[in-house]
């Protein structure tokens, strides 16, 4: 427990001190939200557009922070030998990874709070009502994306390519699943792709709760699909996660 | 003995990286010397607990590193051949972060002074020179107050002054009664620092002993002089006889043996002949 607190403190310091992570991981979804709400007015599905965009940006934030941000952090540490070096210390690997995961959850939580506050400020979006349901949904979503983030590190060979690869995954996924606006008018093929992605089901949960007053447990299908993706991520991560840089 | 290895083997694919290494090391500096690909790093990484072994017995501080956990890692310090630390933390912060992993860490400021980074205490790691980063690696390896320190090519890329400073640090570690396992391909470094040395080639130890024993093991002496403006080099196992013959002839002919020198082989000569044997 002492070790976990120690590492968590340093993980937070490392995150906020790095311009790359603070800007691209934390700030980017918030900036995007500010831009999109400035452009879209009017209504989507009978609610002000800004409400839906807020929900969409929270989902995109989950993918960007817990999946892409986590994966970039771990790949860069692996490739410069930090992960290997840490393994020679008494800090247990499980405690280390837990600290990294909890730290990224904290970043995501602050990001979500900032999005609600900014929405309130710019567009008078309402505060969320079913708080417990929202927290459960976001915790599930972040955990699923973190598992997938751990899993994908095994497939990224170098630090140079990692950010590009992850953006090529996250941005189209966010677009296809409706983070940036409704997908109803998309071609069938694109909607079909979006329908298998985990972000789609996290957005279902968030929109159901925030826009339509539903509860977490009203969406068993979304919970099931997310859990499936999470288990898939864990299994792949257990098989492919590496602590050491590539040889040579 | 803090390190005991018997018949250690390790293969990577078709490459038999370690092919039956046995050695023992107690307090002091034990040097592992050898060309690239000789199995130095594989051996040291098995001892550190990074690699599994195919065969043989390994005991480090009474632990089997393959199965050892935190109790083992409390007592070792590691400088990897290649690794970096967080660019955005300062020297002091990096030490503090690592100190937190150990039950009984050393005082962070003392360690920073010991490795000669006091002036860079609050500098970000990314602003350090290559040599300073290497000293940071060493400081971080010492912050847990280890009994056993693994140094995998710790001075590669150092300028001569930085290397001497590093040597002084390693000597001061030795004087504290630590065990240090050092790999290097610098012969002067091994000769200067190591109490005992093993020369590795193709995964086996081809010679082991103190630096003096290793050079004594070769019984050739090199005699050089100049004759008719030409350099003459003679290697002999009987230098006394050779010198007597040369000097008698020279005296009889009334000439001087210009540029006469008699040289014992250095560790470098021994090492080069040992590691070259196979290639011929």
Same domain, B161 and B238: no
Average pLDDT, integer, range A37-56: 87
Please tell me if residue B49 touches chain A, with a CB cutoff of 8 Å: yes
Yes or no, beta carbons of B76 and A88 under 8 Å apart = yes
Average pLDDT, integer, range B25-30: 93
Between CA B25 and CA B93 the distance in angstroms is: 34
Residue B87, domain member (yes or no)? yes
Beta bridge partners of B90: B124
Residues from chain A that touch B86, judged by Cβ atoms under 8 A, are 14, 82
Q: Examine the pLDDT at A109 and tell me if it is beyond 70.
A: yes
Yes or no, beta carbons of A89 and B101 under 8 Å apart = yes
- How far A155 CA lies from chain B's nearest CA (Å)? 21
Q: Examine the pLDDT at A248 and tell me if it is beyond 50.
A: no
Same domain, B100 and B226: no
pLDDT confidence tier of residue B277, bands split at 50, 70 and 90: low
Same domain, B160 and B250: no
List, edge to edge, every strand of the sheet that includes B28-33: B76-79, B148-152, B179-184, B28-33, B196-201, B204-209
Domain positions in chain A are 2-240
Residue B273, domain member (yes or no)? no
Same domain, B59 and B187: yes
pLDDT at B55: 93
Residues from chain A that touch B89, judged by Cβ atoms under 8 A, are 13-14, 17
pLDDT confidence tier of residue B65, bands split at 50, 70 and 90: very high
Query: What is the overall mean pLDDT for chain A?
Result: 93
Give pLDDT tens digits for B127-141.
998 888 988 999 999
Residues from chain A that touch B66, judged by Cβ atoms under 8 A, are none
pLDDT higher for B276 or B20? B20
Look at strands B179-184 and B148-152 and give their pairing: parallel
Same domain, B238 and B250: yes
B180, B204 Cβ separation under 8 angstroms: no
Which residue range is the domain that position B120 belongs to? 3-216
Same domain, B124 and B210: yes
Q: Examine the pLDDT at B160 and tell me if it is beyond 90.
A: no
pLDDT higher for A138 or B191? A138
Chain A residue whose CA is closest to B68: A90
Yes or no, beta carbons of A88 and B86 under 8 Å apart = no
Beta strand spans in B107-216 (E): 148-152, 179-184, 196-201, 204-209
User: Which of helix, strand or coil describes residue B152?
Assistant: strand
pLDDT at B280: 41
Test mutation, B48, B84, B94, chain A, max A CBs within 10 A: B84
Which residue of B74, B80, B97 is in closest CB contact with A90?
B74
Residue B199, domain member (yes or no)? yes
Please tell me if residue B63 touches chain A, with a CB cutoff of 8 Å: no
Residues from chain B that touch A3, judged by Cβ atoms under 8 A, are 100-101
Q: Examine the pLDDT at B180 and tell me if it is beyond 60.
A: yes
Q: Examine the pLDDT at B30 and tell me if it is beyond 70.
A: yes
């Amino acid at each position: 427990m002492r070790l976990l607190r120690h590492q968590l403190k340093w993980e937070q310091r490392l995150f906020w001190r790095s311009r790359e992570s603070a800007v691209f991981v934390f700030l980017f979804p918030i900036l995007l939200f500010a831009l999109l709400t400035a452009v879209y007015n009017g209504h989507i599905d009978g609610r002000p557009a800004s409400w839906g965009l807020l929900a969409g940006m929270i989902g995109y934030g989950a993918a960007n922070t817990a999946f892409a941000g986590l994966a970039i952090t771990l790949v860069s540490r692996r490739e410069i030998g930090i992960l290997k070096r840490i393994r020679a210390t008494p800090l247990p690997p499980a405690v280390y990874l837990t600290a990294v995961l909890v730290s990224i959850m904290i970043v995501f939580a602050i990001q979500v709070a900032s999005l609600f506050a900014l929405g309130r400020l710019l567009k008078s979006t309402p505060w969320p009502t079913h708080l417990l349901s929202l927290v459960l949904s976001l915790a599930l979503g972040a955990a699923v994306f973190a598992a997938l983030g751990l899993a994908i590190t095994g497939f990224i060979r170098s630090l140079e390519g990692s950010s590009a690869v992850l953006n090529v995954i996250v941005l189209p996924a966010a677009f296809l699943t409706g983070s940036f606006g409704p997908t109803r008018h998309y071609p069938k093929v694109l909607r079909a792709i979006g329908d298998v992605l985990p972000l789609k089901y996290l957005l279902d949960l968030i929109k159901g709760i925030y826009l339509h007053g539903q509860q977490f447990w009203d969406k068993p299908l979304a919970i099931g699909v997310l859990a499936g993706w999470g288990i898939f991520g864990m299994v792949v991560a257990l098989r492919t996660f590496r602590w050491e840089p590539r040889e040579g | 003995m803090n390190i005991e290895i018997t018949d250690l083997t390790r293969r990577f694919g078709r490459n038999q990286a370690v092919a039956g290494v046995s050695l023992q090391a107690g307090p002091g500096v034990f040097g592992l010397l050898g060309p690239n690909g000789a199995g130095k790093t594989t051996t040291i990484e098995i001892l550190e607990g990074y690699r599994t072994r195919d065969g043989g017995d390994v005991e480090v501080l009474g632990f089997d590193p393959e199965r050892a956990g935190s109790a083992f890692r409390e007592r070792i310090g590691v400088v990897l051949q290649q690794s970096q630390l967080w660019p955005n933390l300062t020297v002091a912060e990096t030490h503090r972060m690592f100190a937190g992993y150990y039950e009984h860490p050393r005082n962070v400021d003392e360690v920073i002074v010991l490795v000669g980074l006091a002036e860079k205490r609050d500098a970000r790691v990314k602003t350090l020179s290559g040599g300073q980063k290497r000293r940071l690696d060493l400081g971080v390896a010492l912050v847990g107050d280890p009994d056993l320190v693994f140094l995998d090519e710790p001075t590669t890329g150092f300028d001569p002054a930085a290397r001497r400073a590093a040597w002084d640090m390693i000597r001061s570690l030795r004087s504290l009664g630590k065990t240090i396992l050092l790999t290097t391909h610098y012969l002067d470094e091994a000769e200067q620092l190591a109490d005992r040395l093993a020369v590795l080639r193709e995964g086996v130890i081809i010679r082991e002993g103190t630096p003096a024993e290793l050079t004594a093991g070769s019984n050739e002496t090199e005699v050089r002089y100049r004759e008719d403006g030409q350099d003459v080099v003679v290697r002999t196992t009987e230098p006394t006889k050779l010198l007597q013959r040369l000097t008698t002839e020279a005296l009889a002919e009334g000439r001087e043996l210009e540029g006469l020198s008699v040289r014992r082989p250095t560790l470098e000569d021994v090492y080069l002949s040992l590691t070259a044997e196979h290639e011929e």
